[in-house]
Structure 1
Amino acid sequence: MCRIENVKIVIATKFRAYIGFAKFIRLNIFARFHNRLVGILVAILFLCAIMIRKMKIVFIEPRPPDFHIFSRFILPRLGTLILGSILKQAGHEVEVLIETAKKLNYKKLLKADLIGISSITSTAKRSYVLGDELMRLGKTIVFGGPHPSFFPEEALSHGHFVLRGEAEQSILSFVHALEQRSGLEKIPGLSFRVGDRIFYNPSAEPCLNLDTLPFPDFSLMDTGADLALRGIKPVMTSRGCPYDCSFCSVTQLFGRKYRFRSPENVMEELISLNLKKGDTVFFYDDNFVANPENTKKLLRLMIENKITPSWTAQVRVDCTKDEELLELMRESNCFFVYLGLESVNPSTLRSYRKKLTVEQIEDGINKFHQYGIRTHGMFVLGADPDDVQTIRQTAKFAIKNKIDTVQFLILTPVPGTRFFKEMDEQGRLLTKDWSLYDGHHVVHRPAGMTPYQLQKETMKAMAKFYSNWELLRLVLRFDFITFLYRTYGNYLVSRWRRQRSSRKYYRMMKEVSAGTVARLGDNYRKTAEDIRRYFARLRKKSFIAEKR
């Protein structure tokens, strides 16, 4: 359905362009030139010009405000690359700038006709500054991504348009409407402002057949940016999630019903990647094994076609009940899995609606290790049933069960989730400085401890897991591979503790906990001063040039 609609739009666009110019030629060219031959020649030149002219479109994925455990492993979100691929196939000139992979190329932004900015909550402030500065130069700005989708009115203060949710079915019609200067009211999922009034078009229907989407074209990335990926090839095989955890926005974005690509279609993409020795495939799904039969069929195809690079994915820990699946994962060269374990507190697991028990978590980790698959455990700390002891027990649990690497994240009320709505209604949000909504800063008042305790104990848990003592124990066990992973974690913890902004935040949390400060301001941290400096210099140069 997605691809058919896009083809229709491309054909319609070209057809209308030809008809429009035919009218122009009839009304203007022949009226001015009595010589029929001259008129025909001019008409041909005009037609060539419209066929050659393409809209220059640049998508930007701004960098996050701080480093984190995956900072070394750069993974672009695939949305902008898929949209770019659709537009490229329609004849537009497209580039995708991933700021974590390479510094922004401002010259390319200044030459663009349309600039799309994809934003998550933690990058929203930086995205908005970029939008403000580019609008001042007369550029057309469209926002997309999770945060603008949930707060379109906020985003429209910094840009002209917001494409909410999945935009694959509306991106071509949107660009066509911009070219024709009409028809914006018909674009599904589009929000835009006219004067003081904001219009919200009905939401776009999700693409039900994911096989119709083009493969992400990584050649659209800025020159040299692909080197920053370090041989990691991201591949998406599904969208949606039925579990609806209270702190997760996936269901609001992609729905509670799973949608899957066919194993054959995924296999075709894997072949097209031309994988080299040392490349790693990361399956980008929120739960790669959501449909076990689908996953098993894909893994069999990989084995049969002898395309078995080292691969990794996010999975549920209880998938280990399926021995056949585990065997296929091992045989197809799965070497690491990312597990959303969330908590070792049974009450917290229930409040998250995780549908897991602590015993299932322990059994699952052990089973993965039996099959030679390493585990990365992701825990979310600070739910209402949690207290200081919960955090300390979580660190002990991770060490005892020999989880290879971990993330202890602070529960964050991300916009679009039930948890955000609850915290906002209860007046428990400490700030709406979106740059702090990164899982490493306390931004709400927890029920079972003070904000300072949650901030301090979470970092202590990370320091305990990645401590020098634990590194020594790994050496004594001759587990040198895990030692290397943990050494990187040890470095990040030390770096975070030394960082001046981290120490400042600790002090601020102390004041909030003591009642000296009621809440933080909504502009606590500056995250886009480099962008402001660049455009200030640009304006200064323009002013000097005009005076001359």
Structure 2
Amino acid sequence: MIRPKVYLLYIPDERSGDHENLIFPNGLYYIYANLLDNDIDCDLIMLFRSNIEEFSDILESGDVIGISVNSGNVRDSLLASEYLKVFSNERSLELDIVMGGPFISLMEDSVLESVEYVDRFFKNESEYTFTDYVKNRSSRKSLPKIIRSERIRKLDEMMIPSQKGLIYSNIMTSRGCPGRCTFCSSKLLWKRRVYFRSAESVFQEMSTLYENGVDYFVFSDDTFTMKKSRLKKLFTLINESSMRIVFDFRSRADYMDEEMIKLLAEAGAVSVSLGIESADEKVLSILKKDIDLKKAEKAVRLCNENGIRTNLFFIVGCPGEDESSIEKNIDFIKKVSPDWITVYGLHFFPGTELTEEFLVGHDWLSHDKTIYYKDLEIIKKRKKLMLESLNRKNQKYLASNIPKGKLYRSMFWKFDLMASASDDKKEAQKLLERSLKLYPSPEVMYKLAIIKDDEKLMKKALKKFIFQKENDIRKDLSFIKSCAMIFEENGLFELYNETLQEIEFLEMNRQD
């Protein structure tokens, strides 16, 4: 391995209760894989700032520390880098501290130039430029503080992280977004362009991960369903293989027609997150969210009919929003009946159209809290009203909403929920067995093992719980709470205590 040693750090915001905060940025995986492919000694670490002193004890002179920064972990990343620079100077270690990530790419050069405790900033996609930087140690001092990377247009040529032994569930199949939303930074980063990987490249990555135990995937693209021909090819490859996989994804409602939704269901889609933002046309116009609410309504209905669960994103506290806007949101939620809704308060990101209009001259590097467009109490009140409007789907709905004919793998959850609602042990067993035939969920295996008193199945369920938990395959709070309960019941107290700590982290500062 080539020295120096490289540490790639992701430092989550310890004040956040968002489970997505505990997922490594996809770009960091690619940088890690590219470094290993160039025979560079490298560790990928999720480091909580409270553990920074312990981490600093392993550092040696000349080590390179790369920190990935997004809008959610700015504060902790900057404080950590400042601590490491002071530590480096006190010990005469000559540590090389660099930063990259979407937040850094959005910051003005003059602001970054003023940061004394970071040696270099990498803007844009840095898989190749950062590797060159590490390899060419002798020429680093002549480089500018801010290093810009060229756009990577041929994504298939990049080293796939799974080929270097990484195990993960979040897959990036494209980069970019075509939207022009005023509140979002994506159009600044990608200029409304989208760059795609081929179906063959994505299938190769999934196959490698599947061979290593991953069968539940999350496609992290901004708009997964944008290019239908590519997904048709990918889903054909999946369906013709022996892989029994399921997945979650995000998209826009205008890329979710009936044909696409059927293709998704057949391929194993469990849930989709759709950005609605508002059901008030006036607010949508101000946000430049080019969405047709009729198409969105139809997309949710078709997803319900095909067994795909729906999570709708809304934003409250927007320009032009009033009480009637919230009433329209509530009416829309009741009408389309999604499985979940996620409600955010509108807040600012560097460089967005919204920021340029309403938050001029803000010091992004010293801010200690999220800056919202409207008063936080108004946002909380409106969020609560919307969350209370969500109709929870009952057993009768679940039973009546199973399509006739072919059952898709992704419908395993329906039979699981129906079994949980049943008072008849034999009926519950049959429903769980039907669920297990579709997809081997550890929750279903565990419930069925208890009913049947099947020790072999119990061990299999525990093994899968441990695998998915320890490899961060699923990070949602409900799954992690299930892990804690099951680890305690089976005397796995070390895992149980670790899981309790994670639950405490996720529940810290959660908004009601």
Deviation per residue, 1:25-50 (Å, 9 max, x gap): xxxxxxxxxxxxxxxxxxxxxxxxxx
Supply the distance in 1 between the matched residues of 2:347 and 2:356 (Cα, whole angstroms). Answer: 12
Q: Which moved more, 1:355-364 or 1:396-405?
A: 396-405
* d(CA) in 1 for partners of 2:165, 2:67: 15
Question: Following TM superposition, by how much is the alpha carbon of 1:400 offset from its aligned partner in structure 2, in angstroms?
Answer: 3.4
Amino acid at match of 2:46: I
Q: Which moved more, 1:141-150 or 1:473-482?
A: 473-482
Figure out how many residues of one structure are paired with residues of the other and give that number. 407
Relative to the length of structure 2, the TM-score reads 0.71
Alpha-carbon RMSD: 3.5
* 1:436 has 2:369 as partner: yes
TM-score normalised by L of structure 1: 0.66
Asked whether the equivalents of residues 280 and 311 of structure 1 are also in contact (C-alpha less than 8 Å), the reply is yes
Matched, 1:98 2:46: yes
Aligned counterpart, 2:102 = 146
The verdict on how the C-alpha distance between 1:109 and 1:134 changes in structure 2, with shifts beyond 3 A counting, is farther
Aligned to 1:378: 313
Which residue type is aligned with residue 247 of structure 1? F
Answer yes or no: is 1:345 the counterpart of 2:280: yes
Specify every segment of 5 or more residues in structure 2 that has no aligned partner in the other structure, as ranges.
89-94, 399-413, 422-474, 482-503
Who is 2:154 aligned against?
209
Shift of 1:430: 11
Partner of 1:167: 126
Give, in angstroms, the shift of residue 120 of structure 1: 0.9
Q: Which letter does structure 1 place at the counterpart of 2:155?
A: L
Q: Residue 223 of structure 2 contacts residue 251 of structure 2 at CA under 8 Å; is this kept in 1?
A: yes
Which segment drifts farther, 265-274 or 475-484?
Answer: 475-484
User: What is the alpha-carbon distance in structure 1 between the residues aligned to residue 365 and residue 2 of structure 2?
Assistant: 43
What's the counterpart of residue 64 of structure 1?
13
Q: Equivalent residue for 2:25?
A: 77
Could you tell me how far 1:260 is from its partner in structure 2? 0.7
* Counterparts of 2:73 and 2:141, CA distance in 1: 31
Identity of aligned residues (%): 22
CA 1:102–1:499: 2 relative to 1, 3 Å: closer
What CA distance in whole angstroms lies between the structure 2 residues aligned with 1:295 and 1:407? 26
* 1:233 aligned residue (169, 181, 185): 169
Aligned CA distance change for structure 1 residues 153 and 109 (closer, same or farther; 3 Å): farther
What is the match of residue 512 of structure 1? Answer: none
Higher relative contact order, structure no. (Cα contacts within 8 Å, ≥ 6 residues apart) = 2
Query: 2: distance between equivalents of 1:487 and 1:173?
Result: 39
Mapped contact 2:5–2:41 kept (Cα < 8 A): yes
CA 1:256–1:456: 2 relative to 1, 3 Å: same
Shift of 1:389: 3.3
Confirm or deny that 1:390 pairs with 2:335: no
Aligned amino acid, residue 176 of structure 1: K
Report the Cα distance in structure 1 between the residues aligned to 2:364 and 2:135, rounded to whole angstroms: 40
Q: Return the match for 2:77 from 99, 123, 127.
A: 127
Tell me: CA distance 1:208–1:102, structure 2 relative to 1, closer, same or farther (3 Å): farther
Query: Distance in 2 between the 1:173 and 1:487 partners?
Result: 39
Distance apart, 1:246 and its partner CA: 1.1
1:474 aligns with 2:394: yes
| 1:355 and 2:290 correspond | yes
CA contact (8 A) 2:155 2:196 kept: yes
- C-alpha contact (below 8 Å) 2:277/2:284 kept by paired residues: yes
Which residue of structure 2 lines up, in the alignment, with residue 286 of structure 1? 222
Matches within 5 A, 1:254-333: 254-275=190-211, 279-321=215-257, 323-333=258-268
The residue aligned with 1:176 is 135
CA-CA distance at 1:183 after TM superposition: 4.3
Alignment CA distance shift 1:451-1:308 (3 Å): same
Task: Give the number of the structure whose alpha-carbon radius of gyration is greater.
Answer: 1
Supply the AA of the counterpart residue of 1:134: L
**Alpha-carbon deviation of 1:307?**
2.8
The Cα of 1:88 is off from its aligned counterpart by 1.3
Shift of 1:255: 2.9
Structure 1 residue 84 displacement after superposition: 1.3
Q: Distance in 2 between matches of 1:95 and 1:53?
A: 13
Q: 1:293 to 1:432 in 2, by over 3 A?
A: same
CA distance in 2, matches of 1:461, 1:432: 33
Cα offset, 1:263, TM superposition: 0.8
